[in-house]
Amino acid sequence: MQNKLDVDQFNQFIDRHLKEEQFFDYKEEWHPNKAELLRDILCLSNVSYQGDRYLIFGVSDKGEKIGVKNTDSNRLKDHNLYNWLGDLRLNKPLTIQLYVIEDKENSREFDIIQISDSNHKPFFLLKDVEYPKQKTTQDSKQDSKTVTVRSGVIYTRNGNTNTPINGSAHENDIEKMWRNRFGIDLSVLERFKLLLQEKGGWDISWDAYGSYHHKVFPEFQIREDFEDINNYVCHKDEWARGCIGYHYDESSNGTSEKKLYYHQTAISRVLLCHFDGSKKTIVAPQYALMGSGRFYFYYENDIGYSYQIFLKTKYNTNDSEGIPRPHTSLNREYFDIPIFKNENDLLQFKQYAALKNARYSYPSTDPEFDPAKQNILFCELMNLYFLFKEETVNSLS
């Protein structure tokens, strides 16, 4: 989920960027022609930049904050924008969000189309679309009455300049997009993350160890590790307690480890937890100390989460979701292991939890070792997380 800018962040952003750059484009008003709007969205979507991109309405090319006029007949509401984009035949769906910044102090509004970065570049149309051309006094009778965004054509943005609507991105830029899509320029670990998320991309090696290799790139392999891993027995953690512990004895749950190899070199390792009578398997989540409690989670870009997606594809179910509550103090019967985009997202939750409950204020203390007390602390943190997610969703709606 994208984190939208608030009014203070927006003003700071504009004050720091008085000139347009590669990842954002200023517009004084909404496009009178949807062909130009679509072209600009595709240009920003295909930019070679790590991070969100912004199409900002109500700001001049020189960074002057003007505001969007309420009388602008071309202004779109969020549902109109999403429905319009949804009706287009794009090769891949865009992750996009439209919202309004209200500067009440100066009685101005600004519209922002925020586009997430993606490894699915390039984005392009599979079918031409045409829109009526906005007439000007300079148009001659011979001028076309429509503007076309062409199928198969790739648009992008270099510096502060967009690809012309009747042009195409340079072949070097297009090559870079496809190399990005296939992970050719990525590190071995980053390629492993992408390959793990491919549905049906892996074959089992019929040996005694349940190894796997990638079908197209067999140099990427997954092997069982039989080293001693008793120093971290993840199936005893508080997230895996409760009804699991009541119904199954110790021998029916367990911990194992997989090593990820590139040729004969071990690149990374993943700790797995088998619980619920060993009928379920998930990647052991990370945890952060919060007060004397532990809060468990995945990072979206971590190799462990990529392996969790691999397990989801393999078993056609995601055992990190719908886990029975470990204690009656959890206000939901089941919970999912939380997922954060990055450390900053986790920090936002930490700050929220500390604000709501003083026992989770900084600095964190040593963890509670009593299992019963730790269960209660875990449930308190999960209850705070439920509230945090609800408030975040409401703020974006």
Would you say 320 and 336 are in contact if contact means Cβ atoms under 8 Å apart? yes
Round to whole Å and give the CA distance between 167 and 162.
10
> Can you tell me which residue has the tokens 């119904």?
247
Given a cut of 60, whether residue 142 has pLDDT beyond it is no
Identify the pLDDT of residue 251. 59
The mean pLDDT of 52-74, rounded to a whole number, is 93
Choose the weakest-confidence range: 63-72, 134-143, 179-188, 331-340. 134-143
pLDDT at residue 165 in the model: 94
Band of pLDDT at residue 363, cut at 50, 70 and 90? confident
Bigger pLDDT: 174 or 201?
174
* pLDDT for 137: 46
pLDDT in tens, 348-362: 999 999 999 989 987
Q: Are strands 220-225 and 254-262 parallel, antiparallel or unpaired?
A: antiparallel
d(CA 371, CA 96): 43
Q: Which residues pair with 96 in a beta bridge?
A: 115
| Strand pairing class (211-214; 220-225) | antiparallel
Give yes or no for residue 48 having a pLDDT over 70: yes
User: CA 273 from chain center: how many Å?
Assistant: 25
Indicate if the pLDDT at residue 392 is higher than 70. Answer: yes
Q: What mean pLDDT do residues 39-45 have?
A: 97
Beta strands 24-27 and 53-57, pairing class: parallel
Predicted local confidence at residue 101, as pLDDT: 93
Query: Given this model, what pLDDT does residue 228 score?
Result: 57
Is the per-residue pLDDT at 111 higher than 80?
A: yes
d(CA 384, CA 330): 10
Least trusted range by pLDDT, from 173-177, 200-204, 302-306 = 200-204
Closest C-alpha among 207, 186, 176 to residue 306:
186
Preceding peptide of 363 cis, ω within 30°: yes
At 85, is the pLDDT very low, low, confident or very high (cuts 50, 70, 90)? very high
Q: Which domains does the chain have, with CATH numbers?
A: 7-181 (3.30.950), 188-396 (no CATH)
**Res 397 pLDDT > 60:** no
- How is 361-388 classified by DSSP, letter by letter? PSSP-PPP--HHHHHHHHHHHHHHHHHH
Sheet holding 286-290, edge to edge: 286-290, 293-299, 339-340
Task: Convert the pLDDT of each residue in 265-281 to its tens digit.
Answer: 999 999 998 887 778 89
Residue 1 confidence (pLDDT) above 50: no
Q: How confident is the model at residue 252 (pLDDT cuts 50, 70, 90)?
A: low
Q: What is the pLDDT of residues 206-246, one digit of tens each?
A: 555 668 899 989 999 999 876 655 556 777 788 887 655 54
pLDDT at 84 over 60: yes
Q: What is the model's pLDDT at position 239?
A: 86
